[in-house]
Amino acid sequence: MIPNVSRKRPTIRDVAREAGVSYATVSRVLNGRDWVSPEAVRAVQDAIARTGYTTNQHARSLATGRSGSIAFLLTEPQHLLFEDPNFSVLLRGVAQALSDRELTLILMIASTPEERSRTIAFLNGGHVDGVLLVSPHSGDPLLKQLVQANVPIVACGRVLGLEDLISSVSADDRAGARTATEHLIAASCRRIATVTGPLDTSGGVDRLAGYTDALMAHGLPIDQDLIVHGDWTRESGAAGIRTLLRRAPDVDAVFAASDAMAAATLPVLRDAGRGVPGDVRVVGFDDSGLAATTEPPLSTVRQPLERISEEMVRLLVDVINGRTPLSITVPTGLVLRSSSPA
């Protein structure tokens, strides 16, 4: 007979004995609790490595009432997940931050009534411990349903009208837009137009506010003919610049509230016989991978999406563990390239 040489699966008690700490201390470390000394954390981590202990996720879920899963919930149409470079950068950063915490990512799309209904049913079933909400639009019926589901939420960008109920991590959109517009003013541009983002999002509202802040601070008029509204996409950027050229053929600069919209203005301006930056300077917002590949390369406002994704995960874990919800704003920076050089 071949002897049974299989090893018994290490338990938390084995880890505690190896680390020289209590069972409760190991449990607190595994569950991410704060009231454990750094020395005890290191001892437990070393003991886990020596014993080969791995979490039994099913047992852990039964014991803690948690699933160990987090939803990345995008409220835009599915195709934008692949077309908008910001979403892919956020998703990649979130996936890494969750992996570092041994949490599982679940990708969810909720842009149609059917998708929203399935999303709420899934969340009400207790299948995730929290939600990372991406691209929320005020007025979306999903938002109040999410709040009523009583699941911890952290949004990318403030949720207009629900700031007191939903935690958020945002770039400093207003300051970034003001800096971009002031750069154009410093370059002697005076007919500065903007293609806004959707005004049911905090990014759309705040970037428009930063543009008007800069004009007013420098004594320039707010001309409604120089303001057109987009939805972050290339199509809206191209349509916006065509409208601007009809309304204000003397436009000498454009601040577009996303790189995708800014990139779309370039071929339209070229076809209209307007050189960039000689006749019209163009500045975008995001500093996505797209910005450096256009012709000419785009000047833009960088929002640090890698940091935003990490902060979203960190804040959500805090909220799950009972911390008071709060909002975080991270700084932006101007990146100058050929579409509007220094």
**How many C-alpha atoms does 209 have within 13 Å on its Cβ side?**
11
How confident is the model over 248-258, as pLDDT tens digits?
999 999 999 99
Phi-psi region of 66 (alpha: psi -120 to 50; beta: other; left: phi over 0): beta
How confident is the model over 265-321, as pLDDT tens digits?
999 999 999 999 999 999 999 998 899 999 999 999 999 999 999 999 999 999 998
Residue 135 buriedness (CB in 10 A; 0-12 / 13-18 / 19+): buried
pLDDT score, position 326: 85
CA dihedral 195, 200, 202, 208 (to 10 degrees): 30
pLDDT score, position 6: 45
pTM of the model: 0.81
pLDDT score, position 55: 62
Distance CA 60, CA 62 (A): 5
- Which residue shows structure tokens 């886990």? 48
Packing angle of the helix pair 305-320, 85-100 (nearest 10 deg)? 50
Give the SS3 label for residue 229: strand
How confident is the model over 143-180, as pLDDT tens digits?
999 999 989 999 999 999 999 899 999 999 999 999 99
pLDDT score, position 94: 96
Q: For residue 208, what are the contacts with CB-CB under 8 A and spacing of at least 6?
A: 177, 194, 196, 197, 199, 227, 257
Give the SS3 label for residue 272: coil
Give the SS3 label for residue 331: coil
Instruction: Confirm if 194 and 212 have CB atoms less than 8 A apart.
Output: no
Find the mean pLDDT for residues 109-137.
Answer: 93
Distance CA 37, CA 243 (A): 62
pLDDT score, position 63: 47
pLDDT above 50 for 61:
no
pLDDT score, position 39: 87
Six-digit token string for 313: 């995960």
Distance CA 78, CA 238 (A): 22
Q: For residue 2, what are the contacts with CB-CB under 8 A and spacing of at least 6?
A: none
In the structure, what pLDDT confidence band is assigned to residue 8 with cuts at 50, 70 and 90?
Answer: low
In the structure, what pLDDT confidence band is assigned to residue 7 with cuts at 50, 70 and 90?
Answer: low
Distance CA 272, CA 128 (A): 51
pLDDT above 60 for 57:
no
Six-digit token string for 175: 């300051």
Whole-angstrom CA distances from 88 to 198, 298, 305, 309 are 20, 20, 10, 11
Instruction: Give how far the C-alpha of residue 211 lies from the chain's centroid of Cα atoms, to the nearest Å.
Output: 22
